[in-house]
Amino acid sequence: MPVKGEVPWDKAPHTDAKHRIYRAYLDKWYPILLSDNGYPSVTYAEGFAGPGVYKDGSAGSPIIAIQALLETPQLAGTEKTTRFVFVDDDPRCVKLLGDELRRRFPDRPRPHGLMPVSVAEGPCSDAFEPALEAVGAWYQPILAVFDSWGNAPVPYRLIRRLAQNPSSEVVVTFMPQHFIRFVSQLSEDTDGVFGHDSSWRAVSDIPDGSKKKAFLLGRYRSMLAEAGFRFLLDFELVTVKGESLYLVFGTNHRRGLEKMKQSVWEVDKVQGIGFRDPKDEYEEALFDLTDPQLEPLERMLVTRLAGAGQIRVENLREWALFSTVYREQHVIPALTKLRNRGQVECDRTRIERAALVRLV
């Protein structure tokens, strides 16, 4: 439904960190997908685009996405096409976004045929697919961003179609609090958010708040996997006030997962914002990303090694890539710290990829 209150609005505490991640990822996504060995065209699309500007005048994600393309040196003279599709159901947002696009880019930076920009009005569930159809986006890579104020009202059929589209990916903001608070009031249509599976409603039977959130995030991940996304990454943006917002990323390419993780860990520290791995039962925030806090990974490694006998370090690197918010290169430093504390044994003098490790 249209935004309640004034448009544009104040920037939320998470927004700068979220936008830096988007920008860092787009700086990698455009050159890879539009390289000489890549695709003829790509599409960046937002299902809840907003007005493109905040009350303080700073740019919204639609502007950031276009700037990322125009500021990619490798693509300065490309003849490949990059489409931009922005959908919002608030007519005020649609008008302001159009105005902001014209203000930020008064002269078309690329011919329309190479950089078509479409702004459509309507609910994401109804208008997103037709908007992509209208610009010929399907059958070429699409990066779809659904920043939906946290309640993720994105229909399963759309997620599934994107998962089956070549080299396409999704980024979804997800706030379990919405579903926890309104579980008894939400209609059967909401089951479609979870792949038409009503089992998410069992969250009302879980007494612990943290476990409620973890349960719903797990159900949402299951939906993305069922839709066809092979690789998933979810992490939590946390403010000093304890407010949290999940970002969930789905891709079918290992390289996409690696680049998104790289983008998360490259983002400069934002004052008052931290990252957290939802699978860490201690819910420890990773506030200093330039000097990674490895304690959550150490705990998860201990759990992974428990009862497993010896495991090759390279296998643990793969596990960390696919099952945690950490990168592969974080595993050896974490294992080294565990070994120095006498918790882990290694069959070699130093912990390296080919080594075997086990719990003491």
Residue 78 lies in a domain: yes
Q: CATH number for the domain including 187?
A: 3.40.50.150
Q: Are residues 218 and 257 in the same domain?
A: yes
DSSP, collapsed to helix, strand or coil, labels residue 2 as: coil
Q: Are residues 315 and 220 in the same domain?
A: no
DSSP state of 194: G
Q: pLDDT tens-digit profile of 176-231? A: 888 999 999 999 889 999 999 999 999 999 998 888 988 999 999 999 999 999 99
Of the chain, the end-to-end C-alpha distance in Å amounts to 56
Q: Are residues 123 and 270 in the same domain?
A: yes
| 45: enclosing H helix or E strand | strand 41-46
- Say which residue, 97 or 236, is predicted with more confidence: 97
Q: How far is CA 282 from the centre of its chain?
A: 22
Q: Which of 238, 264, 239 is nearest to 249 (CA)?
A: 264
- Say which residue, 225 or 14, is predicted with more confidence: 225
Overall average pLDDT of the 315-336 stretch: 94
Helices (H), ranges, 105-247? 124-134, 156-164, 176-182, 209-227
Q: What's the 3-state SS for 244-296?
A: EEEEEEEECCHHHHHHHHHHHHHCCCCCCEEEECCCCCCCCCECCCCCCCCHH
Q: Are residues 211 and 81 in the same domain?
A: yes
Cα 8–Cα 143–Cα 199 angle in degrees, nearest 5: 85
Residue 202 lies in a domain: yes
DSSP state of 12: P
Task: Burial-class residue 4 by CB neighbours within 10 Å (0-12, 13-18, 19+).
Answer: exposed
Torsion of CA 191, 260, 144, 177, to 10 degrees: 30
**Strands of the 117-121 sheet, one edge to the other:** 117-121, 81-88, 41-46, 142-146, 169-174, 244-251, 231-239, 273-276
DSSP, collapsed to helix, strand or coil, labels residue 230 as: coil
Phi, psi of 164 (to 5 degrees): -90, -5
| Phi-psi domain of 219 (left: phi exceeds 0; alpha: psi -120 through 50; beta: other) | alpha
Residue 94 lies in a domain: yes
Q: CATH number for the domain including 351?
A: 1.10.10.10
pTM of the model: 0.91
Residue 287 lies in a domain: no
| Predicted confidence (pLDDT) at residue 253 exceeds the cutoff of 80 | yes
Q: What is the mean pLDDT of the chain?
A: 91
| 118: enclosing H helix or E strand | strand 117-121
pLDDT band at 328 (very low <50, low <70, confident <90, very high): very high
Q: Which domain holds residue 314?
A: 295-359
Q: Are residues 261 and 340 in the same domain?
A: no
| Predicted confidence (pLDDT) at residue 268 exceeds the cutoff of 70 | no
Q: What is the largest CA-CA distance in the chain?
A: 65
Q: Are residues 240 and 94 in the same domain?
A: yes
Q: Which of 126, 116, 36, 49 is nearest to 83 (CA)?
A: 116
Separation of alpha carbons 337 and 332, rounded Å? 9
Q: What is the per-residue pLDDT for 287?
A: 45
Q: Which two tokens stand for residue 275?
A: 């990252």
Q: pLDDT tens-digit profile of 119-169? A: 999 999 999 999 999 999 999 999 999 998 656 679 999 999 999 999 999
